[in-house]
Amino acid sequence: MWYPGHISKAKRKIKEFLKAVDTILIILDARAPLATTAFERELFSGKKVLYILNKSDLADENYTNLWIKKISETSPVISFSKDEPVNKIKKFIKSFSKEKLKETRVLIAGVPNVGKSSIINKISGRKLAKTGMAPGITRGLQWINLGNVKLLDTPGILYSKLFNKDIAAKLLLIGSLPVESIEKYDIITRAYELFKDELNINKSFEEFLEEYGKQRGFISKGGIVDFERTKNNIFKSISEGKFGRFTYDKEVNLWMQK
């Protein structure tokens, strides 16, 4: 499974910086609030933890509301998307800072590609952190000053081994695992199953690939569909919401506050 070296380095760095932070802002993807907790949240035990269900523009609104209700039983949480006014996050962070006048240091954590750096940029009103469509964009830790709030952007982290096929499939569907890195075909087919259930598609993965590849003109030299290119394009498009708004984690009762 995809686990580039910068992730283990990032975990070591996060541990080092923990002493210097008061609050952890965990960014989850609203489409998969459970799968996007697939990292060592125990790193943050003893700290004040806030949650943001991000990319809510790509999730099913009814489920987002259910998730907010569930998570708020144990932790402060809001939903967010890049088109919403950033004041929502600023107010949220400030309402949990210990003393209004003192400096608050907030570490932003989450799996790859959930929008951590985009949030930092929105809050600061400047493009201070690099963002991008692929997971693994942020490589080092970076402090961003916002008056008396200091924010620490961190690279996306993940468990080093993802044993659970469903979790891996959901992370693929939301773009937290690069499709090119998935070698296990059963993860791809599981992801397709989850996706096909949302759209009520009645085709096998092979049929779907064939048809989509032809439509898009992804044809190799011999005149046959380029399955690799088609597959990569499909999963990228799904993760960017081009097929619609879906929530893959539906069982809110599985939420457990660690």
Ligand X SMILES: Nc1nc2c(ncn2[C@@H]2O[C@H](COP(=O)(O)OP(=O)(O)OP(=O)(O)O)[C@@H](O)[C@H]2O)c(=O)[nH]1
What is the binding site for ligand X (CB under 6 A)? 54-55, 57-58, 81-82, 110, 112-118, 131-133, 135-138, 155-156, 241
Applying the rule CB under 5 A, the residues between 119 and 138 that interact with Mg ion are: 137-138
Amino acid (1-letter code) at residue 202: N
Q: Residue 13 binds which entry of ligand X, Mg ion, none, with Cβ cut-offs from 5 to 8 Å by kind?
A: none
Q: Which residue is nearest to ligand X (CB)?
A: 156
Q: What part of residues 137-156 is at the interface with Mg ion (CB under 5 A)?
A: 137-138
Closest CA to 26 of 123, 111, 143, 98: 111
Please answer whether residues 39 and 67 qualify as being in contact, where contact means their C-beta atoms are separated by less than 8 angstroms.
no
Minimum CB distance to ligand X, residue 203 (Å):
26
Are the C-beta atoms of 33 and 48 separated by less than 8 Å? no
Smallest distance, Å, CB 170 to ligand X? Answer: 16
Q: How far is the CB of 131 from Mg ion (least distance, A)?
A: 6
Q: Where are the beta strands (DSSP E) in the chain?
A: 23-29, 48-54, 77-79, 104-109, 142-146, 149-153
**Residue from the set 79, 117, 230, 233 that interacts with Mg ion by CB under 5 A:** 117
**Measured between alpha carbons, how far is 25 from 45 in angstroms, rounded to an integer?**
13
Indicate which of Mg ion, ligand X, none lies near residue 54 (CB less than 5 to 8 Å, by partner kind).
ligand X
Q: Whole-number minimum distance, CB 217 to ligand X, in Å?
A: 25
- Burial string for 23-49 (b: 16+ CB within 10 Å, else e) reads bbbbbbbbbbbbbbbbbbeebbeeebb
The window from 15-23, 42-50, 111-119, 214-222 that contacts Mg ion (CB under 5 A) reads 111-119
Rounded to a whole number, what is the distance in angstroms from the first to the last CA of the chain? Answer: 25
Q: Which positions lie near Mg ion, rule CB under 5 A?
A: 116-117, 137-138
